[in-house]
């Protein structure tokens, strides 16, 4: 019997206590405006282990599960309504607390009751939810221990170039909100789609580029 090829899952360390894993999203279809491989983030901060927008690797991705199991997640966070992904699976496997938006798409509501996450919310581990100005019910997270910001879809990097995801109010609300984030002493920036890891300087350049419309 022909065996199915193993799904490719990449792991990458970003900073002490901060790493990502990347794999193809099972719901990806051509023409959706984003690349099939997406990033998920794990951060250890103030004794908590948090997974952000986690997509469960296949069971044969042994090294990823081994790393997660070695320091079991205590908190699962959904950054955006359409990033529910596998929050329920992670909550069940690790008995973790869960946080996320108040509202979800009717066809993608998690079984888990999530504690509300809004700009200004402080999570276990000292992470802080930010405002991105996009009116998409999305909350990027500031990770002070790792000097990093993790985004869901406010920024994307198709073909490796970091861009702000377009909205009708890009100039009026989004750019001022994102420029305000420069007051934070971040060094690393993580996005879900495209090349996942970027520098502070690249973030500044992204604010000057034409927004990504998909």
- Per-residue pLDDT band at 28 (split at 50, 70, 90): low
Instruction: State residue 181 phi and psi, 5-degree precision.
Output: -65, -20
CA distances from 84 to 2, 13, 132, 152, 167 (A): 33, 24, 19, 11, 22
CA angle 29, 32, 37 (to 5 degrees): 65
> Is-contact 153 193, C-beta < 8 A?
yes
Confidence at residue 7, expressed as pLDDT on a 0 to 100 scale:
61
**Domains along the chain?**
10-206 (3.60.15.10)
Low-confidence winner among 3-7, 10-14, 53-57, 205-209 (lowest mean pLDDT)? 3-7
Characterise 94 by phi-psi region: left (phi > 0), alpha (psi -120 to 50), beta (else): alpha
CA–CA separation, 123 and 114 (whole Å):
12
| 75-109 pLDDT per residue, tens | 999 999 988 989 999 999 999 999 999 988 887 89
| Model confidence at 3: pLDDT above 60 | no
Please report the pLDDT score of residue 85 as a whole number.
87
Within a 10 A sphere around the Cβ of 108, how many other Cβ atoms?
Answer: 12
Contacts by 72-75, CB closer than 8 A, 24 or more apart: 72/96, 73/42, 73/49, 74/48, 74/49, 74/50, 74/124, 75/48, 75/49, 75/50, 75/51, 75/99, 75/123, 75/124, 75/125
Whole-angstrom distance, CA of residue 178 vs CA of residue 173: 9
pLDDT digits (tens, 9 = 90+) for 121-149: 999 999 999 999 998 889 999 999 999 99
Q: What is the pLDDT of residue 5?
A: 45
Distance separating alpha carbons of residues 120 and 122, to the nearest angstrom = 6
pLDDT reading at 178 higher than 90: yes
Long-range contacts of 17-21 (CB under 8 A, 24+ apart): 17/43, 17/44, 17/45, 17/145, 17/146, 18/42, 18/43, 18/44, 18/143, 18/146, 18/148, 18/188, 19/67, 20/190, 20/196, 20/197, 21/57, 21/64
């Amino acid at each position: 019997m022909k065996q199915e090829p193993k799904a490719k899952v990449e792991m990458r360390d970003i900073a002490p206590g901060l790493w990502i894993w990347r794999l193809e999203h099972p719901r990806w279809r051509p023409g959706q405006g984003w690349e099939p491989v997406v990033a998920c983030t794990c951060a250890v901060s103030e004794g908590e282990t948090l997974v952000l927008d986690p997509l469960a690797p296949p069971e044969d991705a042994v090294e990823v599960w081994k790393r997660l199991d070695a320091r079991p997640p205590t908190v699962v966070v959904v950054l955006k309504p359409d990033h529910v992904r596998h929050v329920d699976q992670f909550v069940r496997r690790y008995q973790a607390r869960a946080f996320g938006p108040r509202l979800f798409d009717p066809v993608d509501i998690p079984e888990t009751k999530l504690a509300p996450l809004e700009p200004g919310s402080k999570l276990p581990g000292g992470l802080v939810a930010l405002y991105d100005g996009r009116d998409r019910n999305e909350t990027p997270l500031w990770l002070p221990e790792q000097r990093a910001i993790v985004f869901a879809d406010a920024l994307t990097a198709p073909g490796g170039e970091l861009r702000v995801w377009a909205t009708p109010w890009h100039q009026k609300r989004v750019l001022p909100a994102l420029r305000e984030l420069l007051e934070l002493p971040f060094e690393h920036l993580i996005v879900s789609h495209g090349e996942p890891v970027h520098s502070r300087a690249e973030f500044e350049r992204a604010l000057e580029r034409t927004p990504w419309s998909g």
